[in-house]
Amino acid sequence: MPRRNLVWVLCVVLVSFVCLQGAPRDDENYEFYRLLVDALDHIEKSYVEKVDRKQLLDGALEGMLNKLDPYSSYIGPESYRQFERTTQGHFGGIGIQVAQERDRVLTVISPLVGTPAYRAGVLAGDRIIKINDESTENITLDQAVGKLTGPAGTKVSITVVHKGQAEPHEIALVREEIKVESVLGDSRRPDDSWDWIVDKDNKIAYMRVNSFINTTAEDVDKAIKQAKQDGMQGLVIDLRFNPGGLLQSAIDVSDMMLKSGMIVSTKGRNTRERKWPASGAGVHTDFPMAVLVNHYSASASEILAAALQDNGRAKIVGERTWGKGSVQNVIELDGGKSALKLTTAEYHRPNGHNIHRRDKAKDSDEWGVMPDEDFKVEFTPDDMTRYLDYRRSRDILKRNGKDGAKSDPQEKPQSFEDKQLQKALDYVVAQVKEKTKAVSQK
């Protein structure tokens, strides 16, 4: 490609970028483009080695998007093909959801139940410092996903530092076809189906929403109907370590729990405000609820928690959530060969407050979802590690002494006092008893 053509391609991209940023379009723009063209000329004329112009263009785009927020990125041709595959719901990978903390270090939000990473002991909060011996410093989220995913049966290694520890260690994994089971219970029946009733005496159901995918609302509906057949009087929904997923899925689950009220809205600088009110067709509004959250509850899980909290439908128990409330649009470039993933709006909860935690946000600022008053229950790093070990020991299926995790089929699940769950159960039980008393006095 002649240099002039490359410059024009770069300028077209930059025009779009600057317009999105709301910058003036005349003298300031001219100076902006001239600086870039001058830099390109110097690189091509004087750099010690011959340069690949396409790599320069990709680098310029990556650099611009890297100056925004951790969720905006340039997705090059190779990464874009992989990105399209992962958004279809079935892909080869190790089974983790990742994000970047304020320092942009690649961090595990949650391993997905039953996946290679889950069985290998990867924990929420693990910081991934290498993928296949390559440093993750300055890596984008989409680049990380591209390196972690791949055909089932292929190998990948990650070097992690557990939260609260200093020494890194390498974990070798074999990719599998990842199919997410989004709604889980506390324990399984002998036929491996979930037993939804966790408190047999008071008939309190418990379900973990692991992520929000196409089938989540349907799966929640089925689980509640089954629990009702088993005598359910109240419900605890566990969103701890839920990294989010599809917006519409979170809206659909919220809608089935609410008779009325706002669920969520989005607001952006150059996008029209959108609102999603409850339809009024809520089918599961006749029982008390509590919702468990922690620091690793993000995105769609925060939308559900905020909708139920602000509409007075459920008490929120646990810890403050992650604060990922931004909307990304995928804008195709170069005829669909590459794309920009650009943050264009933010989610706002029913009370109008912002969910998203911006880079310079303080703990005293309004973001995320806070537990209700008197319902804050924190885990120490050791509590969280022991809880995840306990949870893993209960979730892994053990058929005929074989389960991919090579654990002892006779091994009993570890014990753990889940004080967050107990707080939620105490509240729901009290509400059930109060409701029963009120009915009996009529």
- 3-state SS string over 179-205? CCCCEECCEECCCCCEECEEECCCCEE
Active-site residue (options: 186, 238, 255, 310): 310
Closest CA to 369 of 306, 280, 277: 306
Which DSSP helix (H) or strand (E) runs through 91?
Answer: strand 91-93
Structure tokens at 183: 């709604």
Per the annotation, the verdict on 275 as an active-site residue is no
b/e string for 167-177 if b means 16 or more Cβ within 10 A? eeeebebebbe
User: Is position 364 annotated as part of the catalytic site?
Assistant: no
Alpha-carbon gap, residue 21 to 11, rounded angstroms: 15
> At which residue do the structure tokens 């654990």 appear?
407
Torsion of CA 17, 18, 22, 24, to 10 degrees: -160
User: Count of alpha carbons within 13 Å of 396, Cβ hemisphere only?
Assistant: 28
- Please name the residue that has the structure tokens 């609820």: 289
Q: Which residues contact 35 (CB under 8 A, 6 or more apart)?
A: none
DSSP conformation letters of 115-159 = SHHHHHT--TT-EEEEETTEE-TT--HHHHHHHH--STT-EEEEE
Distance (Å, whole) CA 232 – CA 173: 40
Q: Which of 182, 211, 299, 338 is catalytic?
A: 299
* Alpha carbon distance 256, 253 (integer Å): 5
Compute how many other C-beta atoms are within 10 angstroms of the C-beta atom of residue 234.
25
Q: Check if 310 is active-site.
A: yes
* Token pair of 128 as six digits: 């991934």
The residue annotated as part of the active site, out of 324, 338, 341, 418, is 324
HSE-up of residue 35 (Cα within 13 Å, Cβ side):
8
Helix (H, G, I), strand (E, B) or coil at 220: helix
Just list the catalytic residues: 299, 310, 324
